[in-house]
Amino acid sequence: MAESEAAAEDLDAFIDDLDYLPGHFHLEMQLNFEPRSPASLRARDLKLQREGLRQELELAAAPQRPAVRHLLGAFAFYLEELDEARERFLEVAREDPGNLNAWANLAHVYGRLGQEEEEEACAGQLASLMGLAGDRGAADDPQLRAARCLAEQGYAHGFDVGCASPEERARVLEAGIALYDKALGYAQQIPMEEKRGWYFTMATLFIRLDGIFLELGSEEQKRLPAFNRTLALLQQVLKSSDPQPRALAWCYLGMLLERKDTFSTTPMGVHDCGFSGTDPLDCFGKAIEIAKDQLPILNRLAKIFHFLGKQDMAIGTCNMALDVLRDPELNWQAYCTRAKIHIRAYLHDLERGKLGLGGMPDRNHLACAKADLEEVVKVCPGLKTYLDIGQVYYYMGVDAVQELLAVDEAALNQALVFLAKAGESELGAMLPELQLLRGKCLRIKGEEANAAACFKRAVELDDAGCSHAEGFGCLLEALLAQWSQAQLSDGEVGREVDVWLRRAQDKYPAARLRQELQRVWRAHTDEVLGLARALVAQGRPALVRLLFETMERKGEGVSSLRDRPANIRRWKLFSQYEQGMFKIMKTGTSASLCWGVMEGLLTRCRALPALATCSHQLLQYAPQRFHHCAPRRGKRLVLSRMFQPQKLREDQVLSLEGRSGDLTCKSQRLMLQVGLIHPASPGCYHLLPYTVRAMEKLVRVIDQEMQTIGGQKVNMPSLSPAELWRATNRWDSMGRELLRLRDRHGKEYCLGPTHEEAITALIASQKTLSYKQLPLLLYQVTRKFRDEPRPRFGLLRGREFYMKDMYTFDSSPEAAQLTYSLVCDAYSSLFNRLGLRCVKVQADVGSIGGTMSHEFQLPVDIGEDRLVLCPSCHFSANVETLDSSRTNCPACQGPLTETKGIEVGHTFYLGTKYSSIFNAQFINVHGKPSLAEMGCYGLGVTRILAAAIEVLSTEDCIRWPSLLAPYQVCLIPPKKGSKEEAAAELAGHLYDHITEAVPQLQGEVLLDDRTHLTIGNRLKDANKFGYPFVIIAAKRALEDPAHFEVWCQNTGEVVFLTREGVLELLSRVQVV
């Protein structure tokens, strides 16, 4: 009894000491999945959102009004308008006396206003509602009070308007989740339905946290725990009796199941919660089915679908909401949401059309948006509505392709009318987006001076650091138009450009300003060059330098451009810029200035192919001191120089292997036929140049995955002393598979097939290893040896092979289990990147030992391991680990299917088996020595290569994992003496352009110069070797423009592309 009283007193003290964080968050109204930037936290943006909420308050149905008022109070609080915040929270508290959040926020506002009596009264009301005050009785459980108090604090962390960065938002959300976790620790007596409400809030916070992690590009291992936890929480919410959280939970579940593809492997939570076979579309359908008669839920779902880009689903949900209630005054939200969806759909199609990725946008979207917004503006006239309908009328009035061309002047006039109404309010007059849209309308109508005034106002209103620099680009275009129409003199336009360019440099991020200037350059190249000449003639070369240097990529060298090989349009822009400077230099005006600008450009970008031709032209006129900027060209790789030994007949191969019969292994046969390997002795092969290149790439992929989880690469001797192996008794237990030898002194060694003994002895020799250095993950990629009694199947089962072996050391069994999971996930990621569908199966520990083991098996008929799989629950195991009589799944009792597989990876949890023998210790947190917990993990490097060929290839042709192909591209010129022989030179030029334009493909392109053979014969060879891309310069290469025949081997497609099309296609190729 005394102990329980003491615990209650401790909890009371805990509750009394808890500092309350004011919360202003309503989940149903303000669920925010979208990333926020610091710029979006400006007071003007908060006021704009508040304007929309005030409109909503005028028309909102009764159940929504407390939520809207609460949000208005929140915005007033963060705008430091405390009197309005107090009134809003008072309204909520009077309408809903049980609203904990309202009383807490009201108490906090009173505190800020210095009204102590009112603050105490609100705090007392809050304490009463939470069970923190009143007579102590049997029902007054301190754990219950602590749980609700902590949950209220967690709920308050959901509103992040005051956070200035994604990192700060993440910290606030994590703090809220931690408070809920503490609350659940005291929540044994909380009703389950109330706890499901907590689970729903936690899931919401987790989803937003995962969105921030995605925005920040966080590592998978940071995202996985939160992702899996969210699935488990939603699984509980789906059992709720309240339709709103249940419908939203189905919607969130669909979103998460779609987001699971952002992981390299399917998160385990998907399987653990039973969602592995769930279709995201089914989840969205269930959400809609639950909400079909619930207007607030339908409107909420429509907004979420709109954010997720599911426009058809969002429009359908809006239509359902309007079927429930069509009155615009009572259900204006559905009209407004549907209009926004149509606007977004039109803008999306418009952007794709500008990029050449689609046809003309569907203008029916604009008509539908106009109809909906006209209904809204009748009952809800306001700033946001005016802005939206003004935008719709603007796009109705301009041509989709040439935005400066008017197609409906009446629509433009109507847009100006609504924009003028929006500008009548004090807040509207301060919106740069309103000024920008108004300026665009005026520019199209030919009122350049008025348009320029609007654009200047937009730039003035933009805050420092704003990423929206379109206003300055439009201003520059308007000034160029005025200058070209002689409305501005050379001196006037020069002064204007000088003033506003410098102001823009101070206001906008350099990268965003550069993009906007480059857009202007592409659209008005001649005008910009003319302006440059005029400014040079005025004696203002510094302004020319400033203008062109702003267009450059300052601080970006060739290496950073190679990281973005797909940006061929940007390289073309450099070429245009260079040619423009060339035109200015040819006039002889201020050549030294232009060369000063050009030196940095050419030096940084000399490896870019789009510049090569123009650079050579320029260098003809350049002073000698600039010739170091000339682009350099590497030597071409030609097929005739590749070492490929004479092909052996099948009987010769079998003879060298010491056996008879047929070559039944596809990978062995193909690798021998094309000269990837050559037999040296039974179980030993020469690895020839193509195979070495592929293996080096595989090792690079392995290095990336191992280093991602903290692996450090080492290299241990192949010779291992016999005494180490005798210490673990493996000298005898390994039997005749261990290759043994003696040195001249009679000392015994073995050629190690694994290195558990060697690495443990190394760690044991480090007497000062601390727990702070753990976990320690050491790995190597080296040759291994095994005296295989029956070597066969080429590289799949040999006596000498390459292997990646990793050894890990942890401070506890729990930490070792976590490391084990990390390595297994890294293996799964590796095989996913290679496009190999491996199965992780339970396995026997064998001679290596330990307490747990898994194999990574590649299912294939030639495999020597027998596997059992459960189609229902994805249980899988090696038959060695199961009772031979078992036919049903031990997990779900479903039927098991049997298949064969090739083991390509193996993991072992060793515990202290080896560390106890060699006394491998570390100093623990208490300063005492403790044995390290170990794991070992292997990947068969040469076996993965051969197994991949076995699985992916056809009977006659090799197919590689795209990352491992020895060469990515094979170029085939026409046969010598043929009608198309003139295209041979074009093939050579294309080779040079590829290696220069796509820097990651340098060393990856091979020219088949065996022109004594026909194109057909060489294409057959190329198909057999499995180059991912084969490009043929044949008859169509002589057309204008030249078209090359491109064979995409992995997809079987054959297309004809121009040189630019080839470069665009190859720029997307990934290499390691």
pLDDT in tens, 211-247: 888 878 777 778 888 888 888 899 899 988 888 889 9
Instruction: Indicate if the pLDDT at residue 844 is higher than 80.
Output: yes
Closest to 107 (Cα-Cα) out of 135, 137, 129, 131: 129
Tell me, yes or no, whether 799 and 940 share the same domain. Answer: yes
Domain housing 121? 13-140
**CA pseudo-torsion sign 43, 46, 51, 57:** negative
Confidence at residue 403, expressed as pLDDT on a 0 to 100 scale: 66
State the number of CA atoms in the 13 A half-sphere of 391 facing the CB: 18
Residue ending a domain, among 516, 550, 584, is 550
Tell me, yes or no, whether 388 and 299 share the same domain. Answer: yes
User: Letter for the amino acid at 215?
Assistant: E
Beta strands 712-713 and 719-721, pairing class: unpaired
Tell me, yes or no, whether 358 and 499 share the same domain. Answer: no
The predicted-structure confidence for 619-657, as pLDDT tens digits, reads as follows 444 444 444 444 445 578 888 888 877 666 666 666 666
Percent of the chain with pLDDT over 70: 77
**CATH number for 767:** 3.30.930.10
Assign 457 a pLDDT band (cuts: 50, 70, 90): confident
The predicted-structure confidence for 947-1002, as pLDDT tens digits, reads as follows 999 999 998 899 999 999 999 999 999 999 888 888 888 998 899 889 888 888 98
Tell me, yes or no, whether 766 and 870 share the same domain. Answer: yes
Residue ending a domain, among 140, 157, 172, is 140
Assign 357 a pLDDT band (cuts: 50, 70, 90): low
The predicted-structure confidence for 46-82, as pLDDT tens digits, reads as follows 666 666 666 665 554 444 566 677 777 777 776 778 8
What is the residue-wise DSSP string for 553-614? -TT--HHHHHT-TT-HHHHHHHHHHHHHHHHHHHTTSSHHHHHHHHHHHHHHHTT-GGGHHH
What is the residue-wise DSSP string for 1028-1055? SEEEE--GGGGSSS--EEEEETTTTEEE
**CATH number for 994:** 3.40.50.800
Tell me, yes or no, whether 390 and 525 share the same domain. Answer: no
Q: Which residues are CB-neighbours of 94 under 8 A, at least 6 positions away?
A: none
Tell me, yes or no, whether 814 and 705 share the same domain. Answer: yes
Is pLDDT larger for residue 30 or for residue 521? 521
Tell me, yes or no, whether 46 and 114 share the same domain. Answer: yes
Q: Give a yes or no: residue 454 inside a domain.
A: yes
Tell me, yes or no, whether 870 and 796 share the same domain. Answer: yes
Q: Give a yes or no: residue 945 inside a domain.
A: yes
Instruction: For residues 715-726, give the mean pLDDT.
Output: 92
Is pLDDT larger for residue 365 or for residue 511? 365
Domain count, the chain: 5
The predicted-structure confidence for 605-621, as pLDDT tens digits, reads as follows 444 433 444 444 444 44
Q: Give a yes or no: residue 276 inside a domain.
A: no
How far CA 735 is from CA of 102, 786, 847, 937, in Å, comes to 76, 11, 10, 22
Instruction: Indicate if the pLDDT at residue 31 is higher than 80.
Output: no
Tell me, yes or no, whether 333 and 413 share the same domain. Answer: yes
Lowest mean pLDDT among 34-38, 760-764, 930-934: 34-38
Q: Give a yes or no: residue 546 inside a domain.
A: yes
Confidence at residue 620, expressed as pLDDT on a 0 to 100 scale: 47
Residue with the two structure tokens 């039997």:
735
User: Letter for the amino acid at 950?
Assistant: E
Tell me, yes or no, whether 801 and 871 share the same domain. Answer: yes
Q: Give a yes or no: residue 303 inside a domain.
A: yes
**CATH number for 122:** 1.25.40.10
Instruction: Indicate if the pLDDT at residue 428 is higher than 70.
Output: yes
Q: Give a yes or no: residue 92 inside a domain.
A: yes
Residue ending a domain, among 952, 981, 1007, is 952
Tell me, yes or no, whether 349 and 487 share the same domain. Answer: no
Confidence at residue 466, expressed as pLDDT on a 0 to 100 scale: 67
Q: Which two tokens stand for residue 1021?
A: 């060879």
Is the CB of residue 518 less than 8 Å from the CB of residue 551? yes
Instruction: For residues 319-326, give the mean pLDDT.
Output: 81
The predicted-structure confidence for 139-196, as pLDDT tens digits, reads as follows 456 677 677 777 776 776 665 555 667 787 788 788 888 888 888 877 777 888 888 8
Tell me, yes or no, whether 804 and 927 share the same domain. Answer: yes
Q: Give a yes or no: residue 814 inside a domain.
A: yes
What distance, in Å, lies between the first and last C-alpha atoms of the chain?
Answer: 67
The predicted-structure confidence for 111-152, as pLDDT tens digits, reads as follows 778 888 887 888 777 667 665 554 444 345 667 767 777 777
Q: Give a yes or no: residue 262 inside a domain.
A: no
Confidence at residue 27, expressed as pLDDT on a 0 to 100 scale: 29
